[in-house]
Amino acid sequence: MSDKLDGLWAAAKAELDVATTKDAVEAVRVKYTGKKGALSAILGGMGKLAPEERKALGEQANKVKAQLEAALEQAAVRLEEAALEAELAGAKLDVTLPGRHVRLGRRHPVSQTLDDIVATFARLGFDVAQGPEIELDWFNFEALNVPADHPARDMQDTFYVDAQWLAKGVGPTVLRTHTSPVQIRTMLAQKPPVRAVMPGRVYRKDSDQTHTPMFHQVEGLYVDRHVTFAELKGTLDAFAKAFFGAKAKTRFRPSFFPFTEPSAEVDVSCVFCGGKGCRVCKQSGWIEVLGSGLVHPNVLKHASYDPAEVTGFAFGMGIERLTMLRYGIDDLRTMFENDARFLAQF
Ligand code: PHE
């Protein structure tokens, strides 16, 4: 029987050495080590042996079994390696081909401008505040000194939100037409002094070459004892120089907003011609960039501030417009089309 075991090992080994497929190796495994295999057959006959012989033969059988298993494993590994070699030899890999270009995303130019503006005012000591885009009529108009029948409501064509808000008893609700309601929310939330900029989206029923129903504004508010118009001028002039470059000049033109008194529109010297006069500034040398003024006493009262104690200034600017001026973009629609080829330039 011992000879039989040696013979079994030699035969199995010889078959494995010439096996060239997984199936062939598997066949060897079944034939020699399977339940009905050659090894089982030999071990099955061991019952008839004397105990001494049985022990010796058992040891030999275990050894052969271990050898066989190791050889099967080796054959499997050898076949896998050969398969990989064959695959690599067959594949045509041109390592000199250029790699595939991965396109990186970028911040939208409007977001970049917004961040820059906020950062510039942060250096001037302004915090950042935010408010909701769906706003109570009271914050958007009433508290800003624009009562229901006030003609100034026509200045900004308003999106009214469904009348269900009325039923809930919270009053009429609008998509905010400007960031100015955040002035009121910020003042109601803290005692003076307040010095903050308030960036965000605003909505108006307007859509043509130079207007989109949604755009971005940054509001500014500074309220404290003895805040003057001179400080407003100084602050906005510093901003214009930081944003457009040290050569930029500012000019304040009398204007009207219900929530500021006095009010001024602010022009910056034309960024395209330096003030000489060109097509963009319509030969005037100036470009309008924002609205501003001293906070109206009624507005301070609505925010529970005492106009006898504190004064303040406020301003608001359109971000798309500033972005276009800064990069010399002449079509507002490019700001919203999200053409990756266009956006990749900034
Ligand atoms: N809210 C005004 C607008 O949208 C801008 C503004 C803000 C004017 C603050 C004065 C003070 O046109």
Q: From residue 286, how far is each of 257, 267, 277 by CA, in Å?
A: 21, 6, 8
pTM passes above 0.85 = no
Q: Torsion angle of alpha carbons 51, 53, 59, 62, nearest 10°? A: -90
CA atoms of 291 and 267, how far apart (whole Å): 9
Rounded to the nearest 10 degrees, what angle do helices 229-244 and 319-327 cross at?
A: 40
Token pair recorded at residue 331: 């079509």
Integer Cα distance of 46 and 62 in angstroms: 13
Tell whether omega for the bond before 193 is within 30 degrees of 0, i.e. cis. Answer: yes
Please determine, for residue 18, whether its predicted confidence score (pLDDT) is greater than 90: no
Q: What is the residue with the minimal CA distance to atom 7 of ligand 1?
A: 316
**Pocket (CB within 6 angstroms of ligand 1):** 178, 180, 219, 257, 260, 291-293, 314-316
**pLDDT confidence tier of residue 233, bands split at 50, 70 and 90:** very high
Tens digits of residue pLDDT in 270-287? 988 989 999 889 999 999
More confident residue, 292 or 62: 292
pLDDT in tens, 72-92: 898 888 888 888 888 888 888
User: Percent of the chain scored above 70 by pLDDT?
Assistant: 96
Mean pLDDT of the chain, nearest integer:
90
How does pLDDT run across 124-183, given as a tens digit for each residue? 999 999 999 999 999 999 999 998 888 767 666 888 887 666 666 677 889 999 999 999
In the chain, what percentage of residues exceed pLDDT 90?
A: 53
| DSSP structure string for 16-60 | HHH--SHHHHHHHHHHHHSTTSHHHHHHHGGGGS-HHHHHHHHHH
Hey, which of 126, 232, 259, 311 would you mutate to test ligand 1's pocket, going by the most ligand atoms within 8 Å of its Cβ? Answer: 259
The tens digit of pLDDT for each residue in 284-313 reads 999 999 999 999 999 999 999 999 999 999
Pull the structure tokens for residue 295. 């906070």
**Cα(259)–Cα(295) distance, integer angstroms:** 6
